Amino acid sequence: MQSEVELYTKEQLYDMIKLSYAGRAAEELFIGSITTGAADDLQKATRLASQFVGSFGMSKDFGIGVFPSSGSGASKHTKNVS
């Protein structure tokens, strides 16, 4: 028997990424400082953003192409967004 595959819209993925950053923002707003507590959320948001562009082809800037992950032995493509 096949397992169900969850499908997400572009908007849902954006919301997931924003939600992952909410804990970090809340720390700074309510505690007045940031801690290491949000590290897992930040890793998840980064992984999801990478999949958004590289695996799901949902980026306007990069188009609908799929890029190999850095673990596949291919060269790693990065773009500084700061």
Distance CA 77, CA 54 (A): 10
Distance of CA 78 to the CA centre of its chain: 14
What pLDDT score does 56 carry? Answer: 86
pLDDT(9) > 90: yes
User: Is residue 37 predicted with pLDDT exceeding 70?
Assistant: yes
pLDDT of residue 72: 46
Would the pLDDT of 62 be above 90?
A: no
Residue 77 lies in a domain: no
Kindly state whether residue 71 falls inside one of the protein's structural domains. no
DSSP designation for 63? B
Q: How many domains does the chain have?
A: 1
70 occurs within a structural domain: no
- Residue 38: closest CA among 50, 49, 30, 26: 26
40 belongs to a structural domain? yes
